[in-house]
Amino acid sequence: MSTRGRPTRCDPGRNSNLLETGSLWIMSRLPDFSVVVWLRKTDAFAAIKGEMLGAAVTEPYESTEYQGMVDFHWSAANLVEAKRLADALRGVARHRELVLLRIMSRVDGVDSVSIKDERRTRH
């Protein structure tokens, strides 16, 4: 919630990107490219998060915690910028707590790219 008319990130759902300014809700467009990290919340979480945010140099536009996992989403103006950010995060990907490092593309004809993907599906 915003207290001084400044927009704040609200998370009414994983696939929405809503900002609240006072009582006005604004729907903003999801970025064409984003870099997504899933980080397991363990005792090492704070240190790894600090390392990750330092490597990224910029704050994520969205972060959600769910069932012991925290995801982080950074927007990128284009694929080159997304690759640059993902490359900056490769060093952090050495940690087993980092489960996913992925460039997501919403652009037709440009595939998403997984740099690290250790998600496990439950059957």
Query: Do 100 and 116 form a contact (C-beta atoms < 8 A)?
Result: yes
DSSP letter at 41 equals -
User: What is the per-residue pLDDT across 33-75, written as a single tens digit (0 to 9) for each?
Assistant: 999 999 999 999 999 999 999 999 999 999 999 999 999 999 9
Same domain, 76 and 42: yes
The alpha carbon torsion through 118, 42, 48, 79 (nearest 10 deg) reads: 30
Residue 63 sits in the same domain as residue 47 = yes
Question: Which pLDDT value is given to residue 120?
Answer: 78
**Based on the domain organization, do 71 and 83 belong to the same domain?**
yes
Is the residue at 123 inside a domain? no
Q: Based on the domain organization, do 42 and 24 belong to the same domain? A: no
Same-domain pairing of 95 and 35 = yes
Same structural domain, 85 and 56: yes
Where does 19-107 have alpha helices with state H?
45-56, 79-89
**DSSP strand pairing (33-40 vs 18-21):** unpaired
- Kindly indicate the confidence band of residue 30, based on its pLDDT and cuts at 50, 70 and 90: confident
Q: Are residues 9 and 54 in the same domain?
A: no
Say yes or no to pLDDT of 14 above 50.
Answer: no
**Please, which pLDDT band fits residue 1 given cuts at 50, 70 and 90?**
very low
24: phi then psi, degrees, rounded to nearest 5: -95, 125
> Is the pLDDT assigned to residue 19 strictly greater than 60?
no
The total of structural domains in the chain comes to 2
**pLDDT at 68 (0 to 100):** 94
Q: Which domain holds residue 106?
A: 31-117
Provide, for the chain, the percentages of residues in helix, strand and coil under a 3-state DSSP scheme, each rounded to the nearest 5: 20, 35, 40
73-116 per-position pLDDT tens digit = 999 999 999 999 999 999 999 999 999 999 999 999 999 999 99
